[in-house]
A and B are shown apart, each in its own frame.
Chain A
Amino acid sequence: MVVRIRLARFGKKHAPFYNIVVAHARTARNSKPLEVLGTYDPSPKPPKPGDTYGRPWKEVKLDISRARYWVGVGAQPSDTAWRLLSMIGILEPQYRVLQRQGQVVKANTAAKSIISPSKATSGLSDAVEASGRPVGEDESG
């Protein structure tokens, strides 16, 4: 029988909470699994107090070495579990969307950290117009 790494929904109505479990594929969703690898809380938490530019975050608890072991012996992660496992490098990402998104996030943070971009662009604009290419064209890709 196929062993899968998947999520088991616990929590309340409108307040989901998942156990990341290793279970036989044909058993019921919330039945007792072979092993509980961790938890995933999908409701985003606000940034910590004192963190002015912090982003909201989602908490995942995971026994990483056990997850590696189960993947190594052939357990098949579900799509959602795959997405979570690929974030910490246990698996190759199934879709490259996340990777691209990560790059965009990084670029955005870098762009925000530049002081007064309006000033810089206003100074540059004449030179750019002369070369015939608008500012910021190269970033969209």
Chain B
Amino acid sequence: MPPRLRTTNVPCTLTCCPSVRSQCITQPSRTSRQFSQTSCQQVTLRRRKFYDWLNGPGLALKEPIPGSTNYLGAYDRYGNLVRASPGWQRRKAGEQQGQSAEQEGEEKKEEAAEGQESPDELEMAARRTEQAKKAEQAGGDALPPETVEDLRPFPLNKHFRSQPVLSEGLREAIYQRVKRDGATVSLASVEFGVSNERVGAVVRLKQMEKEWIAQGKTLAAPYSKAVLDMLPTTPYVDPNRPENKGKRPITHEPINDLPVHAATRQQLFVPVAESRHFTRVDAGKAFDNTLLPADDRIPHPELVQAERELASGLSFEERKKLAEERLAAEQARKAQEEARLKAEDAALKKVPQRRWDFVFQDFSIETVGKSERSLEGVGWRYGFPHEDRKKGHVKIPTKVEA
């Protein structure tokens, strides 16, 4: 196959003769392929349609609009951006003169799906107002924010919607809140509306990124920028700025969803005496004796606690006092844990050698027990085989040190 010739930004219809079939990619005339006996038909209907699409509606997809997704679903059949205002379209048309001859007669479709069947309509509305503000600042004929329609990368799959990812600013803010201000992961999760797991991941990855920068490693920043430019993102609403006074942060995802435990997947009918007080704890036990009640399995039980206190009619001062007590207890626990880790680390003896440190940990051989078979003892045990092939031994690491 001959190499593809990439044309410049100059529209093809200018370079090619408009009366002839508009085809950018040069095709040498060949009657047959080297590897095939069937003759290569030069001009088929499909091929012509393909090039028509490439040079017509498909042209808009070639250069992504900055700060927007680049999905097929955002354009109509004629290559017009559905959500764009006439002014924006005109400006765009002015930029790419001549190529949109068939485009001009077309009327633009109105935005159809304005928040239909969207459960998180409030969130979308918040996002849209955020982006609309930006658009207003830019000018009257600026690009309006993306609608639900625009977030469908596959036009035939109406139910697939591209989900937003965290923006760079929001990630940095989460990292600073946890690392610099010392907020707990759950507190940061509530404040930013990002799930616990994601906050943990953001903090770890940001830390790694900063380590890499400090070590002078090169980051794939252009790649990350290009990807983030083409994905819907959750922006960061900086509360310190004057224009964001009284604004709530945009929630990225629901944070207090109950994870589905495998034991609860079955349907249960438990006969209970009317006189019995059957609580959620009992319901958890009905599924599995070791299963905790739903109240303890949700990621943020403290939010429920706060609502309970509010409902019980406590005054603001009392609630604040209770919350502060809880926070102090949490911080004390955290400080204790840190002190324990520090003491453990200080007890190690580190001997620097040429390529690595040798870290010596002192221990007592008594831990192995009288039978010399206790699993608490250090080292491989004598007299019984290694159990890693036995049933029920999980070899996948269940914990990552971070």
Contacts and interface: CB of A to CB of B under 8 A. Distances in A.
Interface in A84-141: 84, 87-88, 98, 101-102, 104-106, 109
B356 A44 contact: yes
A57 B358 contact: yes
A57 B378 contact: no
Contact of B402 (A17, A33, A44, A49): A49
Contacts of A37: 365
Pairs A-B, 5 closest by C-beta atoms: A10-B380, A57-B357, A19-B379, A56-B356, A87-B351
B359 A60 contact: yes
Contacts of B361: 59-62
A55 interface: yes
A104 B355 CA distance: 11
Interface string B369-393: 0000000011110110000000000
Contacts of A72: none
Which secondary structure dominates where chain A touches chain B?
Answer: mixed
Contact of A57 (B356, B377, B401): B356
Given A44-B356, A57-B350, A87-B351, A63 B363 contact: yes
Query: Would you call the interface of chain B mostly helix, strand, loop, or mixed?
Result: mixed
**Most central of B204, B208, B210, B382 by chain A CB within 10 Å:** B382
Contact of A62 (B353, B360, B380): B360
Interface of B: 204, 207-208, 210-211, 214-215, 349-365, 368, 377-380, 382-383, 401-402
Interface of A: 10-11, 17, 19-20, 32-33, 35-39, 44, 48-50, 52-53, 55-64, 66, 84, 87-88, 98, 101-102, 104-106, 109
A58 B356 contact: yes
Q: Which interface residue of B208, B360, B383 has the most chain A CB atoms within 10 A?
A: B360
Contacts of B365: 35-37, 63, 66
Contacts of A102: 351-353
29 contacts: A10-B379, A17-B380, A19-B380, A32-B383, A36-B378, A38-B378, A44-B355, A48-B401, A49-B207, A49-B208, A52-B210, A52-B211, A52-B215, A53-B214, A55-B357, A56-B355, A57-B350, A58-B359, A60-B359, A61-B360, A61-B363, A62-B361, A62-B362, A63-B365, A87-B360, A101-B353, A102-B353, A105-B352, A105-B354
Contact of A36 (B215, B349, B379, B402): B379
Choose among A10, A44, A57, A105 the residue with the greatest number of B CB atoms under 10 Å from its CB: A57
Given A36-B365, A36-B377, A50-B207, 9 more contacts: A10-B380, A32-B382, A36-B379, A55-B356, A55-B357, A60-B360, A62-B363, A88-B360, A105-B353
A49 B350 CA distance: 17
Nearest to B388: A12
Nearest to B350: A57
A100 to B, nearest CB: 10
B358 A58 contact: yes
B357 A63 contact: no
A44 B351 CA distance: 14
B211 A57 contact: no
A28 to B, nearest CB: 12
A37 B364 CA distance: 9
A87 B356 CA distance: 13
Nearest to A66: B365
